[in-house]
Amino acid sequence: MSDLPQTGLYRLAETIAARRGADPETSWTARLLSRGPEKCAEKFGEEAIEAIIEAVKGDRERLISEAADTLYHLLVMLAARDVTLIEVEHELDRREGRSGIEEKAARK
Ligand SMILES: N=c1c2ncn([C@@H]3O[C@H](COP(=O)(O)OP(=O)(O)OP(=O)(O)O)[C@@H](O)[C@H]3O)c2ncn1[C@@H]1O[C@H](COP(=O)(O)O)[C@@H](O)[C@H]1O
């Protein structure tokens, strides 16, 4: 049992990590990873655009489905560059409590 938080997103990230080197004939994740980080990034971009389209249209069910595709492909893209979900979460933790308005003002 891993000591990572046991949310669905972490379980998915662990499944994706475990698919490295799996058979691309039987695993979609292995197939994507075998095609390299650029392909994974391209696929993430496509899925994000599909989610954007559903958000603009306002179809809730389609948006939920495309958001799930987008999150999956985001995790694959991160795995392709050896970035873990916990590292992204640490970055979010670092930002916690600091408003985006305040952060933007500090950049000027
Ligand atoms: N969450 C997902 C997930 N979301 C989407 N996809 C796949 O992502 C693929 C891309 O979808 P597209 O709409 O782009 O389909 P496409 O056939 O490529 O379309 P075109 O680009 O050809 O138009 C589809 O084949 C989906 O099945 C996913 N494949 C896997 N997972 C998770 O990953 C786990 C491991 O999967 P495998 O690596 O396949 O064992 C699974 O148990 C799931 O939990």
Ligand 1 centroid to Cα of residue 62, in Å, is: 16
Angle of helix 60-80 relative to helix 37-57, nearest 10 degrees, comes to: 160
Which residue is closest in CA terms to ligand 1's atom 31?
Answer: 72
Q: How many CB atoms lie within 10 A of CB 108?
A: 4
pLDDT in tens, 71-106: 999 999 999 999 999 999 999 999 998 787 877 788
Ligand 1 centroid to Cα of residue 57, in Å, is: 23
Identify which of 19, 25, 28, 46 to mutate to test ligand 1's pocket (most ligand atoms within 8 A of the CB).
28
Q: In order of start, what are the domains of the chain with their CATH numbers?
A: 8-107 (1.10.287.1080)
Give the residue-averaged pLDDT of 15-29.
95
| pLDDT reported for residue 53 | 98
The ligand 1 site (C-beta within 6 Å) comprises 12, 15, 19, 27-30, 69, 72
Q: Indicate whether 62 pLDDT > 70.
A: yes
| pLDDT reported for residue 4 | 65
Measured in degrees and rounded to the nearest 5, phi and psi for residue 105 equal -65, -35
Mean pLDDT (the chain, rounded): 93
Is the reported ipTM for this assembly greater than 0.90? no
Q: Which residues contact 2 (CB under 8 A, 6 or more apart)?
A: 10, 14
Do 24 and 30 touch, CB atoms closer than 8 A?
yes
CA pair distance 80, 36, nearest whole angstrom? 7
Q: Indicate whether 108 pLDDT > 80.
A: no
